[in-house]
Amino acid sequence: MSSPVSPEQKGGLTPTSFKPRIFSGIQPSGGLTLGNYLGALKRFVEKQDEGIETIYCLVDMHAITVWQDPAKLRHATREGAAAFIAAGIDPKRSILFNQSQVSAHAELGWIFNCVARMGWMSRMTQFKDKAGKNSENVSLGLFAYPALMAADILAYHATMVPVGEDQKQHLELTRDIAIKFNNDYGVDFFPVVDPLIEGAATRVMSLRDGTRKMSKSDPSDQSRINLTDSADMIAAKIRKAKTDPEPLPDSVEALRDRPEARNLVNIYAALSGHSVDQVIRDFAGAQFGTFKPALADLAVATLSPITTEMNRLMADPAEIDRILGDGAERADAIAQPILEQVFDITGMIRSRRK
């Protein structure tokens, strides 16, 4: 399996250190949710503002692992880009683009399909959750999804990947693919990435079931807050969110067996920037009749300006397409030389005139 090659064969293509670079993506498989905002977008902005090189992507090729209506996919990709910008991503400071415009993702994804093992993929819980009892009938792409995700990240030699908790297993697989590629070809070529899973809302749960992740593809719209929801809709969804009859406790531990209550407290903490302990101190003994309106006010105050800005940006889809095209060119300029080195390492002849 491992085939160490001589330094001559490696052609000197062995960078041993990598500059800090962040890559992350979101699927345009529907409108973005509060989960995407707190688990991903908000932190993407923080990373950009820390001055690290940041590359963000609407992963449209991942979205079609489950069938998407083409017009809706196009709309969701533009709306996703609008959400990034409205949340604070500056397309001049960060690179913002959609995946299918940079062919290195698909090309490296294929090479990683040949590196990843069937057994590794079979253990992916997201595949099991999404395929359910229907695994014979889901797309091959859904099974191979984590190899394409590894390509998304490693095509840029990204070193850090901010994600929500649900992506932890896929990032471990990205590390395994990088290590196996490096071992198989006797190179030190791909970085072993660090997942950045931080904050009070790394896993925002459904408003209807505190044991399930809030998800843009959940059939129940009541289960999630969409970034396009009006203030009234946000308030109504929080008012109707499932809870239990007890008041809020005076310790975080006492929330352990109360998934819905814990979820709302976590959301409050993430939106307010306070710790979960602080929120519990502030609301100890409060009934949900008091807590929910406070949470709704906070959610509306945070999300309404984003929604307004998204609507403004969506009025000019040509400008969004221009931003995505510009981002894709800058992304391509980083990924293509890395991909060429991968082709060289793997023994592919590249003699076509450019």
**CB closer to ligand AQP, 122 vs 217:** 217
Shortest separation between residue 175's beta carbon and ligand AQP, angstroms: 16
**CB closer to ligand AQP, 214 vs 339:** 214
| Beta strands per DSSP E along the chain | 21-26, 53-58, 95-98, 160-162, 194-196
Shortest separation between residue 348's beta carbon and ligand AQP, angstroms: 30
- The residue within the footprint of ligand AQP, chosen from 72, 74, 175, 203 (CB under 6 A), is 203
Residue nearest to ligand AQP (CB): 39
**CB closer to ligand AQP, 119 vs 219:** 219
Following CA atoms 35, 38, 39, 42 in sequence, which dihedral angle do they give, to the nearest 10 degrees? 140
User: Taking CB under 6 A as the rule, does residue 255 contact ligand AQP?
Assistant: no
Residues in 28-67 that interact with ligand AQP by CB under 6 A? 29-30, 33, 35-36, 39-40
- The residue within the footprint of ligand AQP, chosen from 167, 182, 266, 341 (CB under 6 A), is 167
Q: Which residues are the active-site residues? A: 130, 213, 216
User: Taking CB under 6 A as the rule, does residue 109 contact ligand AQP?
Assistant: no
Overall size of the chain counted in residues: 354
Identify the sign of the CA torsion 304, 90, 69, 71.
Answer: positive
Tokens of 279: 């929120």
User: Taking CB under 6 A as the rule, does residue 166 contact ligand AQP?
Assistant: yes
- The residue within the footprint of ligand AQP, chosen from 31, 164, 210, 327 (CB under 6 A), is 164
User: Taking CB under 6 A as the rule, does residue 214 contact ligand AQP?
Assistant: yes
User: What is the rounded distance in angstroms from the CA atom of residue 101 to the CA atom of residue 179?
Assistant: 27
Candidates 235, 298, 273; CA nearest to 225 is: 235
User: Taking CB under 6 A as the rule, does residue 215 contact ligand AQP?
Assistant: yes
Would you call 231 exposed, middle or buried from its count of C-beta atoms within 10 A (0-12, 13-18, 19+)?
middle
The answer to whether 317 touches 78, Cβ cutoff 8 Å, is yes
Rounded (5°) CA angle 205-223-137 = 90
Shortest separation between residue 243's beta carbon and ligand AQP, angstroms: 18
The answer to whether 181 touches 120, Cβ cutoff 8 Å, is no
Q: Please give the residue ranges that form the binding site for ligand AQP (CB under 6 A).
A: 26-27, 29-30, 33, 35-36, 39-40, 163-164, 166-167, 201-204, 213-217
